[in-house]
Amino acid sequence: MSVSLVGTVVKPIHPEGRKFIAIFIAVTLILWFVWEPLGVIATALTIWSYYFFRDPDRTVPMDDGLIVSPADGVVSLIGPAVPPVELGLGAEPLTRVSVFMSVFDCHVNRAPVAGEVTAVAYRPGKFFSAELDKASEENERNGMVLTMDDGTRLGVVQIAGLVARRILCEVDQGARLARGDRFGLIRFGSRLDVYLPEGTAPRVSVGQVMTSGESILAILGDARPATSRVE
């Protein structure tokens, strides 16, 4: 298998981004006629908008029991937390793994596990920085519960950030997703929280870089803590 140079640079675009890219291109053309330095700046922003809405294919690991990252970005928080009440996952803390997406990361979100979407719940809120712990409770969010074939449930929550102003969830209750399937997108800097089932420990550490649909967050039923080192 070979990788072409074009394929590493040119990526598919999520449909949500087409109108924004078209606007950037139109404004850029106008600014080139107004003043060349403005045209240069606008061109750079147009390229950024293209890469922000990129939607590349991912190689999803298929071994049984794997939980993959729902987002590109960096693991920003790991610890016990009570899931949002609207998800119906109970009042006891579960291990929460948070993946923070900067404005330079791919913002297409993917299913951590295969299963049926048994709950989808949107809640309006504030727009604190998504890196803050309080963002899980106070920021605008959209939660989803995936119920696996054995009845195990996993919660995943899209959280708007300081710049983000739209959460897009493209699936409804009753839909079935395969591991790594696309299910939504958040515009401009945000976070994904994953609430792991009881008895499952994260296999990642804070600061670790994640690739949505590919990087392994945890293994179902594996309670061993992650071990890692920084080099």
Which residues participate in catalysis according to the annotation? Answer: 190
65: how many CB neighbours lie within 10 A of its CB?
A: 14
First to last CA, the chain: 31
Q: Which of 210, 151, 155, 146 is nearest to 181 (CA)?
A: 146
Q: Look-up: residue for tokens 């939504």?
A: 184
Q: Which two tokens stand for residue 6?
A: 């074009």
Sign, CA dihedral 70-76-82-85, equals: negative
- Report how far residue 155's alpha carbon sits from residue 200's, in angstroms, rounded to the nearest whole number: 13
Angle 225-150-57 (CA atoms, 0-180°, nearest 5)?
70
Of all residues in the chain, what percent are helix, strand and coil, respectively (each to 5)? 20, 35, 45
